[in-house]
Amino acid sequence: MAGGFYIDIHVTAEKPPSGQEIFGRAPDFTAANVMLWSDEPMVAIDARTVLLGYLFRKGPPSVRVRDWAGVDGSALVAANGRELINGYWGGYVFVHVAEDGALYVLRDPSGLLPCYIRRSGCATALAGDVTDLVVPEPGRLDFEEIGRILASGDARGRNTCLVGVEELIAGECLVVDRRSARIERWWSPWDHVTPRGMSVEEETSQLRWTIADCIGSWSSCFPSILLGSSGGLDSSIVAVAATPRSERLTALTLVSPGVAGDERPYAHAVASSLGIRLRHAPLDLADIDVERAVTPHHPWPISPIFKQAVGAIHQRLHSEMPIDAHFSGNGGDGIFCSIRSAVPLLDHFLSKGQRTGLGKIVRDISSLTGADIVTVLRHAWLRHRRSGGAHLPRYNELGLEREVLARIEAQGFSHPWLSAPADALPGKTVHVAFLMRAQKSLELYPRRSAPPHIAPLLSQPIVELCLSIPTWHWIADGRDRAVARAAFSNRLPRTIIERQQKGGPAEFNLSIYRTQRDRLHELIRHGVLAGAGIIDTSLLDEPEDMSWRGNAREQRILAFAAAESWARRWNGG
């Protein structure tokens, strides 16, 4: 089920290829000086307005919009698309050319349909795949942005790591008129952090129904879905909500070395309780090539090397069964505010004062984190003194050149969501930072040649509801993601609801390092990132350490190698 789109404004003949060359046909939509090609589902609204992707009218029950007519379309056009934010949701890009020739391109708040921008003089192009906007060549890399990505998950902003390419951030609208091209923020997570005045029981019920409505709506769009299922809470909730309206849902769990890498018992418990098919497959070192870019269609080098083995498994399954979409529980930790610090205590104190309930929150945090009560109180006080409790970017200095790290730390945040209002509660600054990280390069594979990846927990109604739930409700009874657990306590096996830790591919990653050590070191030592002064190669010369510190070093080397192979690919190598 191929997708992708290309929008050309002030149609140009300069390289990279125009949409006509990319799609091999005449444009699917033209208005004024705008030409558009799309293999995404298209909803025509009028002669000057079109919507790409998937759109639902807000419920419950939500209803998919496949065509448009009547008053709703007129109201939408009159507001240049702003009404979409309030009355609809989905994974879409909205395109409208006003009577005066101004262009409005809105990316929906979920960010589930990628949208990148390339501006060159008076010409602007947008696409859902960055490879349609620029080609690999020397001078293409933005080394400063690569350094930012390697330094911190909080450092990423609008700029990509490719010169001349920006991301249109979820909820933003690009406005191009005769005077300028500017980006306006039409949706912000900060518009939804105010509590709705519900009890915990009401929040639990509302979350259950909202998730069922949104994920069920997504499930009805694709005949055959492959769900990545680890047996963790987030993917299990997706499975529960998707099953009733999915024609064919198959769960896939990946197996890697070590006890923590084999989650088949948990995945089997979920699949059995729901009556869905379960496949399992081992991650294979034979599928790893450390010199090959993992996701060259991403404009940031963020995909770990082990994803090559995941991609190989998906490719083999594609030859065995129909797959119209990949579903996952990606983003769940952030959306369900999986917070493990004392900030919920600060939130409660700052919003309600010294009222009853503080003692329970201290005990909940102690139970969740394993810290004693005195440590919890000390941590809360120190955090409040440091920054009023607000989230501050965290930097990983391991293996980075000091000058690079110093510049990045001095610059601070660059993502607009991380600029919190003055009255923001500390826990909500953390929650919003989690949400920002969850939207990082969601596309598993190039959209025009592979089924889309849907992370349905990022759906706008789910996100807005979760943002409004106080942080201390998310840690009730010493359990992370407590509201989500309670919402599905009667729908999932108890082993899943009570599960606090989840496995992963850590042992497989270490196997990659130990079998490919020399190639990894050579790749980094003589790479473009070291040559550009980003990576301090003395990290490679440190003696092997069998403690957890050594594990951190090996994981960092793997991350550097993945970034290096991506950089070489885009540098024309």
478: DSSP letter: G
CA 213 to chain centre: 21
Confidence bin at 550 (pLDDT 50/70/90)? low
Confidence bin at 573 (pLDDT 50/70/90)? confident
Residue 70 has a pLDDT of 58
Q: Would the CA dihedral through 455, 457, 458, 461 be positive or negative? A: positive
Confirm if 140 and 572 have CB atoms less than 8 A apart: yes
Confidence bin at 549 (pLDDT 50/70/90)? low
What are the DSSP calls for 505-534, one per residue?
A: SHHHHHHHHHHHHHHHHHHHHTSHHHHTT-
What are the DSSP calls for 5-28, one per residue?
A: EEEEES---PSSPPHHHHHSS--S
Rounded Cα–Cα distance for residues 29 and 48 (Å): 9
Residue 87 has a pLDDT of 93
Rounded Cα–Cα distance for residues 539 and 557 (Å): 8
Given strand 224-228, what is the order of strands in its sheet?
277-282, 248-255, 224-228, 325-327, 453-454
Tell me whether the omega of the peptide bond preceding residue 109 falls within 30 degrees of 0, making it cis: no
Residue 138 pLDDT more than 90? yes
Residue 551 has a pLDDT of 86
% of the chain residues with pLDDT over 70: 97
Residue 12 pLDDT more than 70? no
Residue 547 pLDDT more than 80? no
β-pairing, 224-228 with 248-255?
parallel
Rounded Cα–Cα distance for residues 435 and 151 (Å): 19
403-414 mean pLDDT: 91
Domains present along the chain, CATH in parentheses: 5-186 (3.60.20.10), 192-335+436-497 (3.40.50.620), 343-426 (no CATH), 506-570 (no CATH)
Predicted TM-score (pTM) of this structure: 0.96
252-263 mean pLDDT: 89
Residue 259 pLDDT more than 80? no
CB half-sphere exposure, 272, CA atoms < 13 A: 9
Rounded Cα–Cα distance for residues 484 and 200 (Å): 11
Confirm if 192 and 467 have CB atoms less than 8 A apart: yes
Residue 442 has a pLDDT of 79
Confirm if 146 and 301 have CB atoms less than 8 A apart: yes
Residue 62 has a pLDDT of 96
- Where do we find the tokens 């003055």? 422
**Backbone φ/ψ region at 164: left (φ over 0), alpha (ψ -120 to 50), beta:** left
Structure tokens at 481: 């993601």
Residue from 505, 518, 513 nearest 559 by CA: 513
What are the DSSP calls for 153-215, one per residue?
A: TT---SB-SBTTEEE--TTEEEEE-SS-EEEEE---GGGG-S-----HHHHHHHHHHHHHHHH
Residue 16 has a pLDDT of 44
Average pLDDT, the chain: 93
Residue 15 has a pLDDT of 47
User: Each residue of 269-300: pLDDT tens digit?
Assistant: 999 999 999 999 999 999 999 999 999 999 99
166-192 mean pLDDT: 94
Structure tokens at 274: 């729901």
429-437 mean pLDDT: 96
Residue 174 has a pLDDT of 97
β-pairing, 103-107 with 123-127?
unpaired
User: Each residue of 301-339: pLDDT tens digit?
Assistant: 999 999 999 999 999 999 999 999 999 999 999 999 999
Residue 441 pLDDT more than 70? no
